[in-house]
Structure 1
């Protein structure tokens, strides 16, 4: 699906929600390091990609890899991780529980999750 001019595989609506995560605040999608493709979640990647996930290494946290489904702004990983539960551009609420899944996408220290 095209969302804000970007292909988002597995999305079911215009704010990047998917069949796995579709609450009002589930509105980000992540460009995966391993394939440069954007998916709403790790499960969508597993369903649509033909390879294993490789997480973003910390030295690449300045890369634009997180898409806000509300405004279409791409954020670097560091900005996304420090914004916690809202878009730093438009203020749209993000799901604060997503932080529990950061280790699926980004290199984390043990105990960061």
Structure 2
């Protein structure tokens, strides 16, 4: 379980926030700029006093995605290969997060 904070706006126990709160919005992403988890990029924009820096490719072997249901921390490759389900507890993740992947993870090249 992560002892890093989850920051954002109106976060529930499963990491849903004011911006994304469906039954599948149960992940939080760690940003390289502040080493904290946020449920979404909009929460980072709302509460951080700096620009967001996506998780760098050079650190993809470090935990940077948090399942809000079981609190398992995942590395980027494991999250991307999990087909929008937690590999630990099988909770469904929102496939829509893929549309914002460049805000959470440094892109190729």
Work out whether the TM-score is over 0.5. Answer: yes
Partners of 1:99 and 1:91 in 2: CA distance: 18
Answer whether contact 2:6 2:28 (CA < 8 A) is retained: yes
Poorly superposed stretches of 4+, deviation over 6 Å: none
Partners of 1:48 and 1:35 in 2: CA distance: 12
Residue 64 of structure 2 aligns to a residue whose secondary structure is strand
The residue correspondences of 1:38-49 to structure 2 (distance < 5 A) are 38-49=37-48
The residue correspondences of 1:51-70 to structure 2 (distance < 5 A) are 51-70=50-69
Instruction: Work out which structure has the larger RCO, using CA pairs closer than 8 Å and 6 or more positions apart in sequence.
Output: 2
Alpha-carbon RMSD across the aligned residues, in angstroms, is 1.8
Partners of 2:69 and 2:34 in 1: CA distance: 24
Q: CA deviation at 1:109?
A: 3.7
Matched residue, 2:15: 16
The runs of 5 or more residues in structure 1 that have no matched partner are: none
Answer whether contact 2:4 2:36 (CA < 8 A) is retained: no
